[in-house]
Amino acid sequence: MEVENKKYITSEELKEHNKPGDLWISIQGKVYNVSDWAKEHPGGEVPLLNLAGQDVTDAFIAYHPGTAWKHLDPFFTGYHLMDFKVSEVSKDYRKLVSEFVKMGLFEKKEHVTLFTLASVSIMFAIVVYGTVMCTSVWAHLASALLLGLLWMQSTYVGHDSGHYEVMTTPGYNKLAQILCGNCMTGISIAWWKWTHNAHHISCNSLDHDPDLQHIPVFAVSTRFFNSIKSCFYGRKLEFDSLSRFLISYQHLTFYPILCVARVNLYLQTLLLLFSRRKVPDRAFNIMGILVFWIWFPLLISCLPNWGERVMFVMTSFAACSVQHLQFCLNHFAADVYEGPPNGNDWFQKQASGTLDISCSSWMDWFFGGLQFQLEHHLFPRLPRAQLRKVSPLVIDLCKKHNLPYRSLTFLEANIRTLKTLRTAALQARTHPTPQNMLWEAFNTHG
User: Do residues 156 and 298 both lie within one domain?
Assistant: yes
The answer to whether residue 442 scores a pLDDT higher than 70 is no
Residue 437: what pLDDT? 46
Residues 148 and 61 in one domain: no
Residue 359 resides in a domain: no
Is the domain of 117 the same as that of 38?
no
The proportion of the chain whose per-residue pLDDT surpasses 90, expressed as a percent, equals 81
Total domains present in the chain: 2
What residues form DSSP beta bridges with 33?
Answer: 24
pLDDT for 342 beyond 90? no
For residue 309, the tally of other CB atoms under 10 A from its CB is 17
Q: Are strands 76-81 and 30-33 parallel, antiparallel or unpaired?
A: antiparallel
Instruction: List, in order, residues 6 or more apart from 223 with CB less than 8 Å away.
Output: 206, 336, 338
**Single residue among 49, 69, 84 that ends a domain in this structure:** 84
Structural domain includes residue 362: no
CATH classification at residue 11: 3.10.120.10
Give the three-state DSSP class for 205.
Answer: strand
State the DSSP H helix or E strand holding residue 177, giving kind and residue range, or none if neither.
helix 170-177
68 and 140 in one domain? no
> Residue 1's pLDDT is what?
55
Q: What is the pLDDT of residues 346-403, one digit of tens each?
A: 899 999 999 999 999 999 999 999 999 999 999 999 999 999 999 999 999 999 999 9
Is the per-residue pLDDT at 343 higher than 80?
A: no
**349 belongs to a structural domain:** no
- Taking 70 as the threshold, does the pLDDT of residue 446 lie above it? no
Residue range of the domain that includes 279: 110-341
Q: What mean pLDDT is predicted for residues 198-222?
A: 94
Of the listed ranges 48-52, 257-261, 326-330, 413-417, the one predicted with least confidence: 48-52
What's the CA gap between 366 and 231, in Å, rounded? Answer: 33
Any domain includes 98: no
Which range has the worst mean pLDDT, 32-46, 129-143, 173-187?
Answer: 32-46
* pLDDT at site 66: 87
| Cβ neighbourhood burial of 1 (10 Å; 0-12, 13-18, 19+) | exposed
- The DSSP output letter for 68 is G
- Within 8 A by CB and 6+ apart from 320, the residues are 148, 149, 151, 152, 262
Domain identity same for 130 and 78: no
pLDDT at 341: 86
Q: Which of 299, 314, 341 is the last residue of a domain?
A: 341
**Cα distance between residue 317 and residue 313, in whole Å:** 6
Average pLDDT, integer, range 67-88: 91
Distance CA 124, CA 303 (A): 16
Residues 50 and 141 in one domain: no
- The answer to whether residue 90 sits within a structural domain is no
Question: Residue 372 domain-assigned?
Answer: no
CA–CA dist 391, 397 (Å, integer): 10
Same domain, 322 and 195: yes
38 plus 121 within the same structural domain: no
Q: Same domain, yes or no, for 278 and 135?
A: yes
Question: Residue 236: which H helix or E strand, with range?
Answer: strand 235-236
* Residue 12 predicted with pLDDT over 60: yes
In terms of domains, do 292 and 195 share one? yes
Q: Half-sphere exposure of 96 toward its Cβ, with a 13 Å CA cutoff?
A: 23
Q: What residues pair up with 6 in beta bridges, in sequence order?
A: 3
User: What pLDDT digit, counting tens, does each position of 228-266 carry?
Assistant: 999 999 899 999 999 999 999 999 999 999 999 999 999
- In whole angstroms, what is the distance from residue 439 CA to residue 420 CA? 22
Cα 260 to Cα 384: distance, rounded to the nearest angstrom: 28
Cα-based distances in Å from 412 to 166, 330, 356, 409: 33, 12, 11, 5
Residue 384 lies in a domain: no
CB-based contact 382:390 (threshold 8 Å): yes
How many Cβ atoms are within 10 Å of 220's Cβ, its own excluded?
24
pTM: 0.92
The yes-or-no verdict on residue 270 having pLDDT over 50 is yes
- Of 36-45, 93-102, 232-241, give the lowest mean pLDDT range: 36-45
Report the pLDDT value the prediction gives residue 41, as an integer from 0 to 100: 86
Per-residue pLDDT averaged across 282-307, rounded? 97
Look at residues 341, 369, 392 and tell me which one is the last residue of a structural domain: 341
205 and 337 part of one domain: yes
Interacting residues of 351 by C-beta distance below 8 A, sequence separation 6+: 374, 398, 403, 404, 405
Q: What is the pLDDT, as a whole number, of residue 42?
A: 84
Q: Kindly state the average pLDDT of the residues 14-32.
A: 92
Same domain, 184 and 281: yes
Is the pLDDT assigned to residue 139 strictly greater than 80?
Answer: yes
Identity of the amino acid at 90: S
Confidence at 2, pLDDT banded by 50, 70, 90:
low
Residue 4 is predicted with a pLDDT of 58
Q: Report if residue 158 sits inside a domain.
A: yes
